[in-house]
């Protein structure tokens, strides 16, 4: 009898020890979940949902699709069009576009409200030649409504094999719908063009977009115009969707006096500032902007406006002032996430706001004269006259 009691007592001790161990383990797991996610209860709810689906759904459950859907939903809940989940296909397409050549139609688009809007139909590229214009809303790509896609999915459907065809349904600014069929080509764009305006001392420089060569090409064209007698400058950033930040900064350094050009503030509060070391403003400057001027071109225009290095002519810019980074989840997937915002020298964020020009002047549809360019030229001629040049 005593032996039985002793055995039972030992069993109770073992059971008690196991319960304490289990409780301690659960507490530790809960603490770790709290540390990792900030909300252990919601994480447990998520795991419970997976358990319910896997054990009760009347059908096949694909674990990979389940996780893909969960991650995609997580990203979409942030309500940021520039933060997207890149599944295997989207990540492969992005890698191809970044590393090698690819087929496209030469348009850059962004999201405004709930619509995908063409920021810039790059000149002499398939999209522009097919009749796509800045400001057109992209309603469908190959028959699929864009409202059902994220930004990367729209871009992926527009890109494709060189020589293949893509069909876009668009809504023009005047409310008319149109359908265009475009043959994809390898996109090559000369980013900088320049000339002296006839019978003046005004140099005109057009920057179509900022790529890895823009800074160097711009410096060459600027120097050439100086040798031709340039005493004032028009910088045309209309329809420029942005691109490489470093090259945008390189262009700004030609105009912005010593001090900050742009501040990049990250989500953890850290800050990176790009500065100019230009001793003083060299020539009178006019900058042309419109709704197609975005991202890096807005950084240049914003710095020029804030420092009064020049005067802006045209209409309000697009308002794309955020920075994205791509983070790998595994060998084949990633998340592209907004990590920071740009701020002009005066500390203004342009994101979803844009930049108002100093002189607001619309360019009429089908205009026979570039009234924005003419207004900028008139302003610079007056400035040169004041200086006796």
The domain that contains 270 carries what CATH number? 3.90.226.10
Q: Are residues 223 and 305 in the same domain?
A: yes
Question: How many whole angstroms separate alpha carbon 8 and alpha carbon 6?
Answer: 5
Does the pLDDT value for residue 255 go beyond 50? yes
Q: Are residues 284 and 327 in the same domain?
A: yes
**pLDDT at residue 140, rounded to an integer:** 96
Q: State both tokens at 376.
A: 């900028």
**pLDDT at residue 229, rounded to an integer:** 96
Q: Are residues 156 and 202 in the same domain?
A: no
H-run or E-run covering 320:
none
**pLDDT at residue 346, rounded to an integer:** 94
**pLDDT at residue 369, rounded to an integer:** 86
**pLDDT at residue 135, rounded to an integer:** 87
- Tokens 């060459």 label which residue? 220
Q: Any idea which of 90-104, 195-209, 221-235, 288-302 has the lowest mean pLDDT?
A: 90-104
Number of domains composing the chain: 3
Q: Are residues 140 and 198 in the same domain?
A: no
**pLDDT at residue 174, rounded to an integer:** 86
Q: Quick check: is 204 in a domain? A: yes
The residues pairing with 210 across neighbouring beta strands, listed in sequence order, are 243
Q: Quick check: is 328 in a domain? A: yes
Q: Any idea which of 76-85, 183-192, 288-297 has the lowest mean pLDDT?
A: 183-192
**pLDDT at residue 7, rounded to an integer:** 52
**pLDDT at residue 239, rounded to an integer:** 87
Please give the share of the chain, as a percent, with pLDDT higher than 90: 50
Query: In this structure, are residues 168 and 144 in contact, taking their beta carbons and an 8 Å threshold?
Result: no
**pLDDT at residue 68, rounded to an integer:** 86
Q: Quick check: is 295 in a domain? A: yes
pLDDT confidence band for 376 (50 / 70 / 90): very high
Average pLDDT, the chain: 86
Q: Quick check: is 368 in a domain? A: yes
Q: Quick check: is 226 in a domain? A: yes
H-run or E-run covering 291:
none
pLDDT confidence band for 173 (50 / 70 / 90): confident
Which residues contact residue 263 at a Cβ distance below 8 angstroms, ignoring those fewer than 6 apart? Answer: 271, 272, 273, 274, 342, 343, 345, 347
Q: Are residues 118 and 201 in the same domain?
A: no
Query: In this structure, are residues 251 and 309 in contact, taking their beta carbons and an 8 Å threshold?
Result: no
Question: How many whole angstroms separate alpha carbon 191 and alpha carbon 124?
Answer: 12
Q: Quick check: is 24 in a domain? A: yes
Does the pLDDT value for residue 17 go beyond 80? no
Backbone angles phi and psi of 330, in degrees to 5: -155, -160
Q: Are residues 235 and 370 in the same domain?
A: yes
Question: How many whole angstroms separate alpha carbon 228 and alpha carbon 222?
Answer: 10
Half-sphere exposure (Cβ direction) of 193: Cα atoms closer than 13 Å: 10
Q: State both tokens at 357.
A: 């020009």
Give the structural domain span for 141.
101-186
Does the pLDDT value for residue 102 go beyond 70? no
Q: Are residues 261 and 347 in the same domain?
A: yes
Q: Are residues 47 and 128 in the same domain?
A: no
Query: In this structure, are residues 52 and 44 in contact, taking their beta carbons and an 8 Å threshold?
Result: no
Q: State both tokens at 233.
A: 């400058």
CATH number of the domain residue 136 falls in: 2.30.42.10
Q: Are residues 353 and 236 in the same domain?
A: yes
Q: Quick check: is 253 in a domain? A: yes
**pLDDT at residue 27, rounded to an integer:** 61
Most confident option among 42-56, 83-97, 226-240: 226-240
Positions annotated as catalytic residues are 295, 306, 320
Q: Are residues 127 and 10 in the same domain?
A: no
Averaged over 3-27, what is the pLDDT? 61
pLDDT confidence band for 238 (50 / 70 / 90): very high
Q: Are residues 204 and 344 in the same domain?
A: yes
Nearest CA-CA partner of 248 in 288, 214, 203, 279: 214
Q: Quick check: is 88 in a domain? A: no
Q: Are residues 284 and 360 in the same domain?
A: yes
Does the pLDDT value for residue 40 go beyond 90? no
Averaged over 34-41, what is the pLDDT? 62
Q: Which residue has the higher pLDDT, 244 or 37?
A: 244
**pLDDT at residue 13, rounded to an integer:** 65
């Amino acid at each position: 009898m005593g032996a039985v009691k002793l055995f039972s007592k030992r069993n109770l001790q073992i059971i008690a020890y196991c319960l304490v161990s289990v409780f301690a383990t659960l507490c530790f797991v809960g603490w770790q979940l709290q540390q990792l996610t900030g909300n252990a209860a919601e994480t447990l709810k998520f795991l419970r949902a997976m358990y319910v689906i896997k054990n009760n759904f009347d059908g096949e459950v694909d674990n990979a699709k389940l996780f893909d859907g969960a991650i995609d939903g997580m990203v979409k809940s942030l309500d940021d069009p520039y933060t997207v989940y890149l599944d295997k296909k989207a990540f492969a397409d992005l890698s191809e576009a970044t590393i090698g050549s690819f087929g496209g139609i030469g348009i850059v688009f962004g999201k405004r409200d709930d619509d995908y809007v063409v920021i810039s139909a790059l000149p002499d590229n398939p999209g522009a030649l097919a009749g796509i214009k800045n400001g057109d809303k992209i309603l469908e790509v190959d028959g699929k409504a864009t409202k059902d896609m994220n930004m990367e999915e729209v871009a992926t459907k527009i890109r494709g094999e060189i020589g293949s065809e893509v069909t876009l349904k668009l809504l023009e600014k005047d409310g008319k719908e149109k359908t265009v069929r475009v043959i994809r080509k390898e996109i090559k764009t000369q980013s900088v063009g320049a000339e002296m305006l006839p019978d003046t001392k005004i140099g005109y420089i057009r920057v179509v977009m900022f790529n890895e060569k823009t800074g160097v090409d711009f410096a060459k064209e600027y120097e050439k115009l100086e040798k031709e007698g340039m005493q004032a400058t028009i910088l045309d950033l209309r329809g420029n969707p942005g691109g490489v930040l470093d090259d945008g900064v390189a262009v700004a350094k030609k105009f912005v006096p010593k001090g900050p050009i742009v501040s990049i503030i990250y989500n953890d509060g850290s800050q990176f500032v790009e500065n100019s070391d230009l001793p003083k403003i060299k020539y009178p400057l006019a900058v042309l902007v419109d709704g197609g001027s975005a991202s890096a071109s807005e950084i240049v225009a914003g710095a020029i406006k804030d420092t009064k290095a020049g005067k802006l002519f045209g209409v309000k810019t697009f308002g794309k002032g955020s920075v994205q980074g791509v983070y790998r989840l595994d060998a084949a997937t990633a998340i592209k996430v907004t990590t920071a915002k740009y701020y002009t020298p005066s500390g203004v964020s342009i994101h979803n706001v844009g930049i108002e020009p100093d002189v607001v002047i619309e360019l009429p549809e089908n205009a026979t004269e570039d009234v924005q360019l003419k207004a900028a030229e008139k302003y610079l001629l007056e400035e040169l006259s004041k200086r006796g040049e």
